[in-house]
């Protein structure tokens, strides 16, 4: 009987702790690997909005820890992967000042699958879209676009570099790793470059420009988004 009561008491305490965690307000406790709850989910959403790609599942796992460490490094804080209450407030502030939607209309695809720029788009965005249309159906070519701008085919980073160069935003081609560190961090209002060590693509006025889209669309443009998990978000200054 005593053992049964002890087990019941432990179960109640565990349930109470879980309920408390789930109901914890944002920035009311330090969050670290193993934490869970609505405040973890809020942190994950703020990290993602601030440009540190994170899935909001409410579970503070290794991926969230890496995002927190990337934030800490960028903010020149102690890099330990634990989100203190103060850091959580800073993440929220950064998220609130990072644009997540195009400033005006979004682009669309015409009957040929090529992108049509909105009238309200800045000139650089229109130039990127025009350049993207030029190479949209060119084949994927490993290393393409890196030795010379006008090539017979382009790889992922070569494609992104080509259109950025056409808009006067890039002087020389960058590989995927280089694009992951190029430009201000976070999503842009019109243009977001997504890159990691192995791949790079762009979101331009609401359309995805991505060599991996060719398998499904026949060209680099697509209206279908892909998971940004594992990619750094960067954007041109002011765009």
* 35-85: pLDDT as tens digits: 999 899 889 988 887 778 788 889 999 999 998 998 888 788 899 999 999
Least-confidence region, from 115-124, 142-151, 227-236:
227-236
What distance in Å separates the CA atoms of residue 220 and residue 186, rounded to the nearest whole number? Answer: 23
Task: Note the residue count of the chain.
Answer: 239
Which string of DSSP letters, residue by residue, matches 164-229?
HHHTTS-SS---HHHHHTSSSBS--SSEEEEE-SS-EEEEETTEEE-GGGHHHHSSSEES-----T
Q: Is residue 178 over pLDDT 90?
A: yes
* All domains of the chain in start order, with CATH: 27-96 (1.10.101.10), 108-234 (3.90.1720.10)
Name the average pLDDT for the chain: 86
Cα–Cα distance measured from residue 55 to residue 44, given in angstroms and rounded to the nearest whole number: 6
DSSP string spanning 34-45?
A: T-BSHHHHHHHH
The pLDDT of residue 184 is above 80: yes
pTM of the model: 0.61
Q: What is the pLDDT of residue 74?
A: 78
Q: What pLDDT does 48 receive?
A: 80
In the chain, % helix, strand, coil (3-state, to 5) comes to 40, 15, 50
pLDDT 10s digits, 78-133: 999 999 999 999 988 877 655 444 445 799 999 999 999 999 899 999 999 999 99
Most confident of 9-23, 44-58, 144-158, 221-235: 144-158
């Amino acid at each position: 009987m005593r053992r049964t009561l002890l087990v019941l008491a432990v179960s109640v305490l565990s349930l109470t702790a879980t309920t408390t965690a789930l109901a914890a307000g944002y920035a009311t406790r330090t969050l670290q690997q193993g934490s869970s709850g609505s405040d973890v989910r809020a942190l994950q959403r703020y990290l993602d909005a601030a440009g540190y790609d994170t899935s909001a599942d409410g579970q503070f796992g290794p991926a969230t820890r890496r995002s927190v460490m990337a934030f800490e490094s960028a903010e020149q804080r102690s890099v330990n992967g634990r989100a203190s209450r103060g850091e959580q407030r800073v993440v929220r502030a950064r998220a609130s000042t990072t644009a997540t939607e195009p400033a005006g209309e979004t682009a669309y695809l015409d009957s040929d699958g090529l992108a049509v720029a909105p009238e309200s788009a800045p000139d650089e965005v229109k130039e990127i879209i025009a350049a993207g249309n030029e190479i949209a159906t060119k084949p994927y070519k490993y290393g393409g676009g890196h030795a010379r701008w006008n090539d017979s085919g382009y790889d992922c980073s070569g494609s992104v570099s080509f259109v950025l160069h056409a808009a006067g935003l890039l002087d020389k081609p960058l590989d995927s790793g280089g694009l992951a560190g190029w430009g201000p961090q976070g999503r842009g209002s019109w243009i977001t470059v997504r890159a990691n060590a192995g791949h790079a693509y762009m979101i331009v006025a609401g359309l995805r420009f991505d060599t991996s889209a060719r398998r499904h669309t026949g060209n680099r443009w697509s209206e279908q988004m892909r998971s940004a998990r594992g990619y750094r978000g960067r954007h041109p200054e002011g765009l």
